[in-house]
Structure 1
Amino acid sequence: MDSDDDIQLNDSDSDGESEEKGTQILSFADLETKMKDAISEIQDILEVKPGVCRILLQKHKWDKNSLLERFYEHPDTNEFLKAANVIPEDSETFPELPVPTDCDICCMPGELTGLACGHLACIDCWRAYISDRINDGKCEVECMTGECMLLMEDEKVNFYITDPIILEKRRQLIVNSYVEINKCLRWCPGKNCGKIIKAAHSEPHLVQCSCGTQFCFFCGNDGHEPVSCRLLKLWEKKCLDDSETANWISVHTKDCPKCLAPIEKISGCNRMLCRNPSCKFQFCWMCMRDWDVHGYSPCNSYDPKKEKDRVKNRANLDRYLFYYNRYKGHGDTVETKMEVLQHHSQISWADVQYLPKAVETLSTCRRTMMNTYIFAFYLEHNNHAEMFEANQRDLEMATEQLSGFLEQDLLTQSGQEKMKTLIQNVQDKCRYVEHRRKILMDHVVEGTEQDVWVFREE
């Protein structure tokens, strides 16, 4: 989509700009209006149906300049339209529709109708075919005949389909395809929101919708500063991947020497029996030799390579669990709820009115702390990493202190003077926590700009 054709809407047509400079919050209707305007402009030049214009714009990623440039390159308009599969290749004359005869699809007698290519079917078969395509998530519908690539314009689809649910689904598919094509547009992931964010650029940055949902514009995930989208994706894959289960098995089990089934040692005896019904092999846990040969003779064999691999796997697992447990710990408390404060007799409504700001600060810092452990997990240890960990430690300490004020002290203190002092402490700690978070984030940005961060992508 060309830059001159970016969405420009009046404030009355959209929800206006969000906090991110140059970011607009648009509605479904806003995009439909923009699409219709583009279709109208192209129709004035090409003099074809609006539905054909929409297909052509879709093929050219809604870039009007690109479409018109290709159009003017073709001396023959019909050849241009044939190449786009919006008019049939064969220009022979077909009988006037509808045609009373048997349908080749359902073999039932009736009046047949069809497309400009001359392929016919009864209305019920066309309706079922088009509905299936739409339910499969396709906004473009080709001719029912497999060999024919002619695309059905919107006017023809609307002629056959009368079910408002199917029509609405196709309407959403068309708008969604428009959003997916433009890198500067993204649906808000908020529950039942339906708004679209238009950003000034598609690089990773945090945006906020009018529904309050904040997310990374580039990847669509919740805000994940300071970790990059790429590292976040690696981390999520690592957390979901069975490789971590495999690491645990590698550390805590050994494979049966015969059938290779994993076996966990749960008793003190080194004589092991494989529980695989088709195996039942007996072996020594220490040296893995056949028990019939080994017997109860002393086992003092040592394989340094195997032991080294087991130690390495154990260390890798311990390291992963260290960062994962801290990541999860902050994640579990990131959505702190404070409604309970309104029911506490010692807290006035005026104080509760102020608390959402403090709760939001705590939630933001919890989320930041959660993501710093992803950052630290992949970070190679050096002087810059030590400075990052120091900033991380300071922010975590301040965050826990603020959490203590909000989640414990505020509910246990009594008396106006003590409550007044506590509220002041909360305000002071909020400012300090925000200051520590800024220091950490500035350090990460500075390190990125100076290219000092070295990551180990396992």
Structure 2
Amino acid sequence: MRRSFARRRFQSMYDISDEDLTFEDSYRDSDEDVEDVEDEDDYVDDDDTDLDFTDVVAGKDHKKNYEVDFVVHSIEGIVKNQDDEVTHVSNILGIQKQHTATLLRHFHWNKERLIDRYVEDSTEVLNKAGVIIDNTKTSKLIKVPGFICDICCNNDEDLDTLALSCEHRFCKNCYEHYLTQKIKDDDGNLRILCMANDCNVIVDEETIELIVNKDIHDRYRTLLNRTYVNDKEYLRWCPVPNCEYVIECHIPHISLTSIVPTVECVCTHRFCFGCGLPDHQPSICVLVKKWIKKCDDYSETEDWISTHTKECGKCHSNIEKIGGSNYMTCCKCKYEFCWVCMGPWSKHGTSWYNCDRYDEKTIDAKYKQAESRASLERYLLYYNRFANHEQSAKLDRELYNKTEKKMVEMQQISDLSWIEVQFLKKAVDILVQCRITLKWTYVFAFYLARNDQTNVFEDNQRDLEMAVEQLLELLEKPIEAEIIAELKQQILDKTVYVGSHREGLLEDTAKGLLESRWEFQVDIKN
């Protein structure tokens, strides 16, 4: 199941008429789509029934190697999923739902493991989970004559009291204060125990709802939802702040070395389901992790120092050579030495030529320095291109404002409608997508071993870069009435060309990963 953003993909791949889609349909989920998500339990991403090119979709909309199936769930859908699982397991085990829910949370929602262990030894399971099954002992507020709360020592005759199935009774006020503090603390542990010493009976959700106010219970429910999603390997929250949608994607962790599971939330944020970072196709997660660490690590500074400097033979200070002469004087200790052999300059009177004589230690040091320099220069080459596309993507986003002005201008000096000038917006969308893809191609290429397959990958990379720059040139052309029709056709053609090249690069790379065709300079299994 794939998101309905296939509509935008088809517009970029095929020259579908702009009249078929509105501005909102092209660039964000329509209000109708959002309402459907809110009304339904799950947001299923394969609904294109509102479009008029069903036959085209049937022929073209097959899953590509770089695409994965996923579903977007609303909070209501997540709650319903929990309720369905509780009901299902409750029917199998024949116990009350509130006890089943406690058991499932104890087993981190692993239904199969819970059922197996429960069948083997239900008593042990119940004891460890803090559950006492006794249908005659239900949590309810009652008044007990002569009762004195062991915590606050209140003996008011009108005092509401509560006891769990363990029969440890306390007043409602003490329980409410206790539960409220536990829920507010939010230490990640929702196993709220009975207030009695050495009692491991869990306070179930029904009891919490009975005692605390609505705001506290809503917070507790939110925490339950959070732990449910975190416990499920195939569920992940959308990383956008304040976004409350959950993505379901059944890609096991072991497959992350052969696929980049890029998903898209209802809020339109695209990210990797495997690591949670923004979309980094075609680089797999392990390469991205190594690259980020390499960029952030201080070892790169150390590499520069080892490549461009040498240590003083006396005080061991790092010295950089900025002149042409090999006669060096340490600014710190005034030690005079030869930059070539690092020996004392005093011995270079008439025997300076000794520097050119073979010395195994000196030659090894030079080789190591040359290797370090070559490694650093290679890293800087890829990093500069990576950073350039990253910066270009940010600048290209500013094109949206310029493009909107051009769209208005194009309307004013031609007979084109607002719908008909949307091709400019779509072109910028494709441009930004390609910048992000190109950025991560340099990470992928950096870790590739040099062979014929690498040459093919870099050729595709270069072709896409050239096409992107050509599209950018077209978008930056001034709007003139006499060339609008020609410019529109050029931009439409180039947009399709760029989009197809991007998909081709991603498709070939993903296929190579699945076939284990690519060879890397690092171990991607660990």
Q: Same fold (TM over 0.5)?
A: yes
Which residue of the partner structure matches residue 107 of structure 2? 60
Whether the 8 Å CA contact 2:176–2:212 is kept in 1: the answer is no
Whether the 8 Å CA contact 1:18–1:207 is kept in 2: the answer is no
Which residue of the partner structure matches residue 250 of structure 1? 306
Q: Deviations for 1:56-105, whole angstroms, at most 9, x for unmatched residues? A: 1123342444433332323xx544311323349xxxxxxx89964775xx
Whether the 8 Å CA contact 1:117–1:150 is kept in 2: the answer is no
Q: Which of 325, 328, 334 in structure 2 is aligned with 1:270? A: 328
Question: 1-side partners of 2:87 and 2:289: how far apart?
Answer: 41
Q: RMSD between aligned alpha carbons?
A: 3.8
Question: 2-side partners of 1:176 and 1:210: how far apart?
Answer: 19
Higher relative contact order (CA 8 A, sep 6+): 2
Residue type of the partner of 1:136?
A: D
Is the alpha carbon distance of 1:317 and 1:50 closer, same or farther for their aligned partners in structure 2, counting shifts above 3 Å?
Answer: same
Which residue of the partner structure matches residue 447 of structure 1? 512
Is the alpha carbon distance of 1:152 and 1:403 closer, same or farther for their aligned partners in structure 2, counting shifts above 3 Å?
Answer: same
Question: 2-side partners of 1:188 and 1:244: how far apart?
Answer: 33
Q: Which of 342, 347, 363 in structure 1 is aligned with 2:410? A: 347
Whether the 8 Å CA contact 2:314–2:335 is kept in 1: the answer is no
Q: Deviations for 1:278-299, whole angstroms, at most 9, x for unmatched residues? A: xxx45446469999x7669667
Whether the 8 Å CA contact 2:410–2:479 is kept in 1: the answer is no
Matches within 5 A, 1:307-386: 307-335=366-394, 336-337=396-397, 338-344=400-406, 346-348=409-411, 349-350=418-419, 352-386=421-455
Is the alpha carbon distance of 1:262 and 1:27 closer, same or farther for their aligned partners in structure 2, counting shifts above 3 Å?
Answer: farther
Which residue of the partner structure matches residue 60 of structure 2? none
Which residue of the partner structure matches residue 85 of structure 1? 130
Whether the 8 Å CA contact 2:238–2:265 is kept in 1: the answer is yes
Matched, 1:15 2:15: no
User: CA offset at residue 387 of structure 1?
Assistant: 1.5
Which residue of the partner structure matches residue 470 of structure 2? 401
Q: TM-score, normalised by structure 2?
A: 0.69
Matches within 5 A, 1:188-337: 188-202=238-252, 204-255=260-311, 262-264=318-320, 270-274=328-332, 281-284=333-336, 286=338, 301=355, 303-335=362-394, 336-337=396-397
Which residue of the partner structure matches residue 184 of structure 1? 234
Residue type of the partner of 2:190?
A: C
Residue type of the partner of 1:126?
A: Y
Which residue of the partner structure matches residue 174 of structure 1? 224
Residue type of the partner of 2:245?
A: K
Whether the 8 Å CA contact 1:331–1:370 is kept in 2: the answer is yes
Whether the 8 Å CA contact 2:72–2:265 is kept in 1: the answer is yes
Whether the 8 Å CA contact 2:237–2:244 is kept in 1: the answer is yes
Give the % identical residues: 31
Is the alpha carbon distance of 1:17 and 1:449 closer, same or farther for their aligned partners in structure 2, counting shifts above 3 Å?
Answer: closer
Q: Deviations for 1:152-211, whole angstroms, at most 9, x for unmatched residues? A: 3334444665482x5444322221222223232222223432111223544542222222
Whether the 8 Å CA contact 1:86–1:153 is kept in 2: the answer is no
Which residue of the partner structure matches residue 16 of structure 2? none
Residue type of the partner of 2:516?
A: D
Is the alpha carbon distance of 1:285 and 1:18 closer, same or farther for their aligned partners in structure 2, counting shifts above 3 Å?
Answer: farther
Which residue of the partner structure matches residue 138 of structure 1? 189
Matched, 1:435 2:500: yes
Q: Is the deviation greater in 119-128 or in 59-68?
A: 119-128
Question: 2-side partners of 1:255 and 1:98: how far apart?
Answer: 86
Question: 1-side partners of 2:219 and 2:372: how far apart?
Answer: 50
Whether the 8 Å CA contact 1:283–1:289 is kept in 2: the answer is no
Matched position secondary structure for 1:347:
helix
Question: 1-side partners of 2:409 and 2:275: how far apart?
Answer: 44
Residue type of the partner of 1:53?
A: T
User: CA offset at residue 242 of structure 1?
Assistant: 1.7
Question: 2-side partners of 1:58 and 1:230: how far apart?
Answer: 31
User: CA offset at residue 323 of structure 1?
Assistant: 0.6
Note the residue ranges of structure 2 that are not aligned, 5 or more in a row: 1-36, 48-66, 134-143, 156-160, 412-417
User: CA offset at residue 357 of structure 1?
Assistant: 1.6
Is the alpha carbon distance of 1:156 and 1:270 closer, same or farther for their aligned partners in structure 2, counting shifts above 3 Å?
Answer: farther
Which residue of the partner structure matches residue 93 of structure 1? none
Note the residue ranges of structure 1 that are not aligned, 5 or more in a row: 1-8, 89-95, 275-280
Question: Number of paired residues?
Answer: 424
Residue type of the partner of 1:341?
A: T
User: CA offset at residue 50 of structure 1?
Assistant: 4.0
Is the alpha carbon distance of 1:174 and 1:262 closer, same or farther for their aligned partners in structure 2, counting shifts above 3 Å?
Answer: farther
Is the alpha carbon distance of 1:245 and 1:97 closer, same or farther for their aligned partners in structure 2, counting shifts above 3 Å?
Answer: farther
Whether the 8 Å CA contact 2:337–2:345 is kept in 1: the answer is no
